[in-house]
Amino acid sequence: MRLFTAVVPPQSVLDHLGLALDGVPASPRWVPRENLHITLAFYADLPEGTVPELREDLAVVARKHAPIDLRLRGAGSFGARVLWIGVDGATDVLKELATDCLAASPREVPDDVKPHRAHVTVARARAGQVRPPRGRDRWGKRAGGEPRSVLEPAAQALSVYAGPGWTADSFALVESHPGEGPQGGPRYDVVETWPLEG
């Protein structure tokens, strides 16, 4: 099973973000709204028999952590292929939650694996929308000022985005089914959700 833990922003936050994304003059492959989330820990492919233990350990993690004040703010891109919206607020506390979720993995986690910077992936470049990196100047811009990807101007336009604050009071264990969702992307099914009770 391909599993990960995530915080899912509330509908009001996703509504606000949707209005901002509608104003972006770009045509990447947008992530479907129902797939928007903040990943805490990714567990890759786990044997189904290990999932009950993982669920028990994540319940312990949930009892340890209190709700977290967050807000979506800013944007950027990973390379030329992924557009993300940043996370602001109590990000140190969110990172502690992510670290504990990662430590709950039934498989040994290498010491050098750490939680990623908190973000919400909102788009991916479509095939043909990424140019090769040749001809870039020392600041990473293409000769002639052309962006390497359709995501670069989108990230620039969204860099000033600031969404409403909210209190994340739960997290979920989610199963990913690659290729079974809209546009050939993944389909996500929530396995279980735990309230943050610490």
Q: Tokens 């100047």 label which residue?
A: 137
Q: Does the annotation count 177 as an active-site position?
A: no
Nearest 10 degrees: Cα torsion 38, 81, 122, 32: -110
Which residue among 16, 65, 119, 177 is the active-site one? 119
Angle at which helix 51-64 crosses helix 91-103, to 10 degrees, equals 150
Q: Measured between alpha carbons, how far is 191 from 198 in angstroms, rounded to an integer?
A: 22
Q: Is residue 16 annotated as part of the catalytic site, yes or no?
A: no
Catalytic residue among 16, 37, 116, 177: 37
H-helix or E-strand spanning residue 54: helix 51-64
Count CB atoms within 10 A of the CB of residue 28: 21
Q: Does residue 79 contact residue 94 with C-beta atoms inside 8 Å?
A: no
Which residues are the active-site residues?
Answer: 37, 119
